[in-house]
Amino acid sequence: MSEKESTRASLAYENETFLNSPDGRILRMLSEYSEPLARFRREQIQDTVVFFGSARTHSRFDAEKRLADLNGNRPDLTAGEYEKNKKQAQAAVDMSRYYEDARRLAFLLSEWSVKIPARRRRFVVTTGGGPGIMEAANLGAKEAGAKTVGLNIHLPFEQNPNPYITPALNFEFHYFFMRKFWFAYLSKALVIFPGGFGTLDEFFEILTLAQTQKLAKKILVVIYGSDYWNKLINFQTMVDAGTISAQDLELFKMVDSPEEGFQFLRDGLTQYHLDSGLRRVGEAVPEIAKTNP
């Protein structure tokens, strides 16, 4: 190399130090918009139905096995530890019905949606990509022969994607807000199973968007499991206190069986998003979800 020649600088988009720096943050954010958009288009996903619920909910088989193992000889546990663990294991068995119901509801929805005559895939079951209710919904959709989406999040405590997500639709996000965007942007319906802080977060975020009319679409919201939700939240208290209107309770529907949930979703999705009579003659079918600017 001549003394007058310098080493070539790296191209900006190949400069990992820059891309991973605070100055490169805007590019990382844009990547979490543009890369999923390209994949959704490539896989011909027009819209989704999102399932939320606890990552800690086990299948009935796993929950009953854990309880049976605990009821075996456990001399390593004190009496207090045994009772505490047994109570938790029994609660897991009780909650496992929601895993089985999420699996069944996702199956029914996907079995119906794959038969819809459309240029693109409609009402694709989508989850946060992890275990529990998310795993159950992805499993049910896969059993119906449908594609299914997992929008995972990179966490300090690793949350591995469940094995039932369609490989080409397995995403992992760094930014929570970009993950939330993709939950809301494509969704035509939301199904909320019993869950914790994350489930409540997503539930109320979508309700707020619907209440404030920030969505250029009708989004159906199903709350699954009245026993759990009526103990957790007294919605009527908000109406009585004047913090929400009575009409706001119509933003969601509470159901207690996969068949009831499926009927509500099928009827609503057909009415608001499939009925050709609601479209102007000659209006193009959107390639991907339509929202307000």
- The pLDDT of residue 55 is 94
- The pLDDT of residue 67 is 84
- The pLDDT of residue 169 is 98
- The pLDDT of residue 235 is 94
Distance CA 222, CA 268 (A): 11
| pLDDT tens for each residue of 157-191 | 767 899 999 999 999 999 999 999 999 999 999 99
Distance CA 145, CA 99 (A): 19
- The pLDDT of residue 35 is 96
- The pLDDT of residue 276 is 54
Q: Which residues pair with 153 in a beta bridge?
A: 173
Distance CA 80, CA 78 (A): 5
| pLDDT tens for each residue of 5-53 | 778 888 988 889 989 999 999 999 999 999 999 999 999 999 999 999 9
Greatest Cα pair distance, the chain, in angstroms, is 82
CA–CA distances in Å: residue 65 to residues 62, 69, 243:
5, 6, 45
Q: Give pLDDT < 70 ranges for the chain.
A: 1-4, 72-73, 158, 276-287, 289-293
- The pLDDT of residue 7 is 83
Question: Across all residues in the chain, what is the average pLDDT?
Answer: 90
Q: Can you list the alpha helix ranges (DSSP code H) found in 71-222? A: 79-113, 133-143, 176-186, 197-211
- The pLDDT of residue 79 is 74
Q: Strand pairing of 187-192 and 220-224?
A: parallel
